[in-house]
Structure 1
Amino acid sequence: MHEFIDSSDDVLALAVSGKITGSDLDAIMTRLDSAMARHEKVHMFVETRTIDGIELSGLPAYTARAMPLFGKLNRFGRVAIVADQAWIRLASRLESAILPFISYRVFEPDQRAEALAWVDPAKTQSGA
């Protein structure tokens, strides 16, 4: 399940939990494509809460949509991952090491506000 979080227009902010479905992945990719169409740089805030798995039937369509993003990695700005599961924090740190030119930080749940402020400073300044 996913839920989009109110954020600046150049920030894709969401929380995911439970089982991630193909429709979740499709909605997230649609929101990302839309943000990239409007902005040169897009920042991401992803909060995970007890991920139970991913629906395998949704992966082929997601992979087809995600692969072109490898050619657009320079369009990603700050990426904040907030995770309650250690394995997700570890996987995120590994991904960060593979993509060193993206400003990437991993946070624990009690650092959520700090993570959101780091990835979306305009929201913090406006008092939101």
Structure 2
Amino acid sequence: MLRVIRNGPDRLDIEMSGRLGSRDMQQALDELLEKSHGIHAGKMLFDVIDYHLPTPAAIAIELSRLPSMLRFIGKFQRAAVLTDERWLKTLSELEGKLMPGLEIRAFPRAQRGAAEAWLEGRE
């Protein structure tokens, strides 16, 4: 499951749990694009509740929409990832180093307040 919530004029909150299949991935990508409309220099808060790799069919859908996903990512400057999985923390922060213009920082799920403060530049 992937749930997308527009949290103000420049922020998306995204909850991730379970394994995404192809239909779930299609709906999630549509929702991300729709709810990011009008965002510039935005922020994202990912709450990774229970992560499982997407199905191969879901990955194929994501790859087929790569140009629109790159435009989507370009709307954001900061992303905070809430996860208790060490490997996801490492992978998230590595991804941030590979994406120009997007700073990604990972926090334990219990530190949501610290993640939100960082997103808002109050840290």
TM-score range, shorter chain: 0.7 to 0.9
Q: What is the aligned partner in structure 2 of residue 75 from structure 1?
A: 75
The answer to whether the 8 A contact 2:77-2:101 is kept is: no
Name the residue aligned to 1:118: 118
Q: How far 1:116 sits from its partner (Å)?
A: 3.0
The 1:113/1:20 distance shift into structure 2, 3 A limit, reads farther
Compared CA separation, residues 103 and 72, structure 1 to 2 (3 A): same
| Aligned residues: CA RMSD | 2.4
Structure 1 unaligned segments of length 5 or more: list them: 122-128
Name the one with the larger helix percent: 1
Identify the residue that residue 10 of structure 2 maps to in structure 1: 10
Separation (CA, whole Å) in 1 of partners of 2:6 and 2:39? 17
Distance 1:25 1:97 in 2: 25
Sequence identity (%): 21
Q: TM-score, normalised by structure 1?
A: 0.76
For structure 2, the 5+ residue unaligned runs are: none
SS of corresponding position for 2:94: helix
Supply the AA of the counterpart residue of 1:105: R
The number of residues matched between the two structures is 121
* Distance in 2 of aligned mates of 1:22 and 1:94: 26
1:84 maps to what in 2?
A: 84
Q: Which amino acid aligns with 2:57?
A: S
Aligned partner of 1:103 in structure 2 is 103
Compared with structure 1, are the counterparts of its residues 114 and 27 closer, same or farther at alpha carbon in structure 2 (3 Å cutoff)? Answer: farther
**Greater mean deviation of Cα atoms: 33-42 or 14-23:** 33-42
**Structure 1 segments of 4+ aligned residues over 6 angstroms from their partners:** none
SS at match of 2:101: coil
> Which stretch shifts more, 44-53 or 25-34?
25-34
